[in-house]
Structure 1
Amino acid sequence: MLLTYGSAQGRWVLAAAVGGSAIASIDATAVNIALPAIGHEFGAGMEDLQWVVTSYTLTLAGLLLVAGALGDRYGRRRVFSIGIVWFAVASLLCAVAWNTESLIAARALQGVGAALLTPGSLAILEAVFVPADRGRAIGSWSGLTGVASAIGPFLGGWLIQAASWRLIFAINLPIAAAVVWAAHRHIPESRDPEATGRVDVTGGVLVTLGLVGVTYGLIQSVGWLALIVGLVLMTAFVLWERHTPSPVLPLHLFRSTQFTATNLVTFVVYGALGGALFLLPLQLQEVSGYTPVQAGLSLLPITIIMLLLSARSGALAARIGPRPQMTAGPILVGIGLGLFTRIGSGGDYLTEVLPAVLVLGLGLSVTVAPLTATVLAAVPSRHAGVASAVNNDVARAAALIAVAVLPAAAGLTSAAYLDAALFTDGFHTAAMICAVLCVLAGLLAAVTIRNCASQPAYPPHCRLDAPVPPVTTASASTSED
């Protein structure tokens, strides 16, 4: 029996879905703020800090599509609950990590749990609520998850400053216990009756191992062999997806120029964001003297601006088509990232940080809604779920690669974050690289994105879980539809 939004059970289902999504969002946004503290405790270099972030994103990005298929086939509540428990156990391992290597391994396990729970948190709402209430339920889910993403950096900064970075992982345990209890008691099981055949586990393994090889090759200075192996595995993944009867990534979607172009814009913009916002907390804390709490609060205006303007941006794009905003938005994002070059050793918030943050928030508000809706409108409606999932994974993979590549491209060596002058020079170089990439993404949208005769309404719940704090972005759904 389907549930209504106002029913007691419906509220419990929404709370469980939000709780599951929130622990992943809070954790992802808090970790960047914790990087300086982790680095100092373990004596970690830049490469180690890169792996703390990328090990999580690797397994999450590699397994996300497979996890969505597992939920459709074997039960969304079951896979969601397994993901919550897995994430909690991995969080405990992160909290008790005794060196950098153990933390990196535990973060990789955390990414597996996040991959299992992320698609289920939204798919459950789609499956259990009556059609008339699904939009409201998903809108509430998106808004509350966005609030969690915004709270993450502040909460993480407060925990680090008050006690230890380890608490940003330990705090997941009671939340996870409450979510598992609520899921068991109140979420009805659901499956996709049309999900037949074998789940494409081979494709998931190939893409995950391929990403591992590519990432290792890009981060490690002597990782050329790993890079070659990773590229071979990624090629094998594409060939496998072309011939397997139930691919985890339907390549035929990329026959749409609109779909391909939008994902290219997504890749560039979110790659630039992921790279720049990986380095920003290090710049603010190690060079500008910010406390973890101050660093966590520094990007809060971005979330506020997006909450105020995203719906209006979507409504405007529905009237005029996506191309103007998908052109102007990334260029504004690029200008905002370019303004990061004004952040120096003083790091005055009102004159150096806030102007960049305001322009960046405006650019994201202009970009996100039309980008999401263009991805969904570029494919038949029956493929909307997987199209959103692909766009989500593209954003995550872009951030993963950017975090791996950008420090070296900007000349940031292993111990650079301990040298204020050296790090500032590298950070400014990285910010300009990211700014130029976003401007190029806007120009790419101008020549590739077309305005359809009739644009769909832009749903307020479309968002991508941000790879970095605390940006609320396009849709976090996966192949559940």
Structure 2
Amino acid sequence: MTMEKHIFYSVCIISFAGSFLSTAVNIAIPVMSHEFGLTPDKLSWVVTAFLIPTAACLLPMGKVSDIYGRRKTYAAALLAFAFTTAAAALAATLPVLVAIRALQGIALSAVYVSYMPLLLATTDEDCQGRILGICVGLTYLGLSLGPVAGGLLTEYAGWRSIFLLSAAMASAAYLFIRPVRQEWYASGAPFVNAVSSALSIAGIVLFLWGISSYAETNLPLWAGLFLLLAFILHESRSYHPLLPLYIFRSVSFSMSNLAAFIQYSATYAMSFLLSLYLQVLTGLSPAVSGLILLVQPIIMALLSPKAGALSDAYGPMPIATAGLALTTLGLACFAIWPDPSVASVAAFLVLIGTGSALFGAPNNSAIMSAVKPAYHGVASSMLALARNLGQASSMAVVTLILSQHTAATTLYADAVRAALRQSYTLFAVLCLCSVFASLARGKKK
């Protein structure tokens, strides 16, 4: 097997495994809440504690990957992710599980910043959109199988089996990359800027934690915003920045990242919300709920490779913008009909799935092609940061909305129903904003 195939297969496996774990855990939240003796909304920290460290560590890990080698960083991160994922299956209490999930997120951040530069370094430029489309398609396939497999595993083998299966897949990805000996580096600073790293990590953690806990106190949110502003000012004056700000002079790069951030903010928490709706409000089992949620990501998995090929031919803007418009329509349907039948849920998910497929691969291609190959590591870090900040923000906002309604309403079902309606409306408005961000980048291929 060639080196290129070893890298490609490894990236494909971890693309599937990471997304599979995400949605499989979401479907297991109501069952986990019974074991730990808490309401399901309290278990949102099992998801949030994973997303926040992932987002916070992306920029420093990107620089580590550039300096010490992308293959070494990727391989070590796969081992760490496999180990922490297996450890999560053994967690006896919720605080222990949340702590392990945070370590999981740190390991996965190192995977995210290194795997795409490795893939692009071993792929011809004229077919990068198609290759990225395959990987995005496998990501969506993981999202699609996550709910149904997670529901079946939770119902018949327990929620801990989800982590064991994911650890096995991460180990398989490591076995594929292990024989590769060639290394890839990026020119730049010979060290990781400690001040920039501290400011960015603390700022992102406090900002996202502040959104989640805003109902109790707004101090972390404002502290996070202050540190993020300090980070930007420091980067503008640093000779060795963690994030070179001048790459944002590219309109395509800036608007593509903004569109990604908004799109993930608007869509990521939908599987969590619909899991609550289907199990808590309609009384369906985890397995049946997973089968219903299967509709959206399987559409995404089928259409993503074709969307990547279309972006190679026509440029990312028209394809991605059409996708965002369809996603907005699907979210608006949930906002207008917040108590839909099972058939309506499936129909709305078809719209969101089609839109997300048309957006994902073209937008990734736009971001990576907007910079020179020397900056692929930075671009990959920024893409992963936009994605994970969006995901973490989505869950943080939902956590805040749920906590407000559960505190104000005696009946838990009524609180969940009101929180769903408010969340759907907010997400629809956000996704509409991403349409304008996508249009602003222009038609350049």
Instruction: Give your verdict on TM over 0.5.
Output: yes
- How many residues are treated as equivalent by the alignment? 442
Provide the TM-score with structure 1 as the length reference.
Answer: 0.81
CA distance in 2, matches of 1:136, 1:259: 20
**Is the Cα–Cα contact under 8 Å of residues 330 and 438 in structure 1 kept in the other structure?**
yes
Q: What's the offset of the Cα at 1:319?
A: 6.2
CA distance in 1, matches of 2:434, 2:258: 8
Structure with greater proportional helix content: 2
Identify if the C-alpha distance between structure 1 residues 417 and 89 changes in structure 2 by more than 3 Å, giving closer, same or farther: farther
Corresponding residue number in structure 1 for 2:260: 266
CA distance in 2, matches of 1:258, 1:194: 23
Matched, 1:192 2:185: yes
What are the Cα deviations for residues 404-445 of structure 1, in whole angstroms up to 9, with x where unaligned? 123434753369798223312221221112112212332454
Q: What's the offset of the Cα at 1:272?
A: 0.8
Corresponding residue number in structure 2 for 1:281: 275
Q: Which amino acid aligns with 1:95?
A: A
CA distance in 2, matches of 1:65, 1:86: 18
Matches within 5 A, 1:4-83: 7=1, 10-45=4-39, 48-83=42-77
Secondary structure of 1:451's partner? coil
CA distance in 2, matches of 1:416, 1:82: 47
CA distance in 1, matches of 2:169, 2:411: 35
Q: Percent sequence identity over matched residues?
A: 31
CA distance in 2, matches of 1:107, 1:217: 19
CA distance in 1, matches of 2:356, 2:17: 23
Q: Which amino acid aligns with 2:422?
A: T
Work out which of the residue numbers 383, 394, 407 in structure 2 matches 1:391.
Answer: 383
CA distance in 2, matches of 1:124, 1:173: 22
Identify if the C-alpha distance between structure 1 residues 141 and 188 changes in structure 2 by more than 3 Å, giving closer, same or farther: farther
Q: Which amino acid aligns with 1:427?
A: L
Identify if the C-alpha distance between structure 1 residues 426 and 95 changes in structure 2 by more than 3 Å, giving closer, same or farther: same
Q: What's the offset of the Cα at 1:356?
A: 0.4
Unaligned runs of 5+ in 1: 1-6, 456-481
Matched, 1:402 2:394: yes
**Is the Cα–Cα contact under 8 Å of residues 262 and 371 in structure 1 kept in the other structure?**
yes
Work out which of the residue numbers 205, 210, 214 in structure 2 matches 1:212.
Answer: 205
CA distance in 1, matches of 2:371, 2:109: 24
Work out which of the residue numbers 351, 354, 378 in structure 1 matches 2:346.
Answer: 354
Corresponding residue number in structure 1 for 2:323: 329
Q: What's the offset of the Cα at 1:102?
A: 1.5
CA distance in 2, matches of 1:404, 1:23: 23
Secondary structure of 2:268's partner? helix
Matched, 1:257 2:254: no
| Deviates further, 71-80 or 127-136 | 127-136
Matches within 5 A, 1:45-194: 45=39, 48-127=42-121, 141-184=135-178, 186-192=179-185, 194=187
Corresponding residue number in structure 1 for 2:358: 366
Q: Which amino acid aligns with 1:74?
A: Y
Secondary structure of 1:171's partner? helix
CA distance in 2, matches of 1:197, 1:154: 46
Q: Which amino acid aligns with 1:425?
A: A
Q: Which amino acid aligns with 1:188?
A: R
Identify if the C-alpha distance between structure 1 residues 167 and 266 changes in structure 2 by more than 3 Å, giving closer, same or farther: same
CA distance in 2, matches of 1:156, 1:81: 26
Q: Which amino acid aligns with 2:430?
A: L
Matched, 1:300 2:300: no
Identify if the C-alpha distance between structure 1 residues 113 and 310 changes in structure 2 by more than 3 Å, giving closer, same or farther: closer
Unaligned runs of 5+ in 2: none
Secondary structure of 1:413's partner? helix
Q: What's the offset of the Cα at 1:190?
A: 0.6
**Is the Cα–Cα contact under 8 Å of residues 276 and 434 in structure 1 kept in the other structure?**
no
Secondary structure of 2:184's partner? coil
Corresponding residue number in structure 2 for 1:429: 422
CA distance in 1, matches of 2:267, 2:293: 12
What are the Cα deviations for residues 367-406 of structure 1, in whole angstroms up to 9, with x where unaligned? 3344334434544554345334313311210221221123
Secondary structure of 2:211's partner? helix
CA distance in 2, matches of 1:319, 1:78: 34
Q: What's the offset of the Cα at 1:135?
A: 7.6
Provide the TM-score with structure 2 as the length reference.
Answer: 0.87
CA distance in 2, matches of 1:437, 1:172: 32
| Deviates further, 29-38 or 303-312 | 303-312
Q: What's the offset of the Cα at 1:27?
A: 1.4
**Is the Cα–Cα contact under 8 Å of residues 265 and 441 in structure 1 kept in the other structure?**
yes
What are the Cα deviations for residues 65-100 of structure 1, in whole angstroms up to 9, with x where unaligned? 322332232233322232122222322332122222
Q: What's the offset of the Cα at 1:138?
A: 5.7
Q: Which amino acid aligns with 1:110?
A: Q
Q: What's the offset of the Cα at 1:306?
A: 3.0
Identify if the C-alpha distance between structure 1 residues 300 and 173 changes in structure 2 by more than 3 Å, giving closer, same or farther: closer
Corresponding residue number in structure 1 for 2:432: 439
CA distance in 1, matches of 2:418, 2:199: 38
What are the Cα deviations for residues 208-229 of structure 1, in whole angstroms up to 9, with x where unaligned? 2212212222222323222222
Q: Which amino acid aligns with 2:443?
A: N
Q: Which amino acid aligns with 2:431?
A: C
| Deviates further, 30-39 or 213-222 | 213-222
Q: Which amino acid aligns with 2:64?
A: L
CA distance in 2, matches of 1:115, 1:380: 22
Identify if the C-alpha distance between structure 1 residues 438 and 122 changes in structure 2 by more than 3 Å, giving closer, same or farther: closer
What are the Cα deviations for residues 266-320 of structure 1, in whole angstroms up to 9, with x where unaligned? 2222101123333121111111222222222323333333344445545656666
CA distance in 1, matches of 2:125, 2:257: 29
| Deviates further, 155-164 or 194-203 | 194-203
**Is the Cα–Cα contact under 8 Å of residues 62 and 204 in structure 1 kept in the other structure?**
no
CA distance in 1, matches of 2:50, 2:102: 5
CA distance in 2, matches of 1:97, 1:333: 37
Q: Which amino acid aligns with 1:371?
A: N
| CA RMSD after TM alignment | 3.1
Corresponding residue number in structure 2 for 1:476: none
Identify if the C-alpha distance between structure 1 residues 106 and 114 changes in structure 2 by more than 3 Å, giving closer, same or farther: same
Q: Which amino acid aligns with 1:361?
A: G
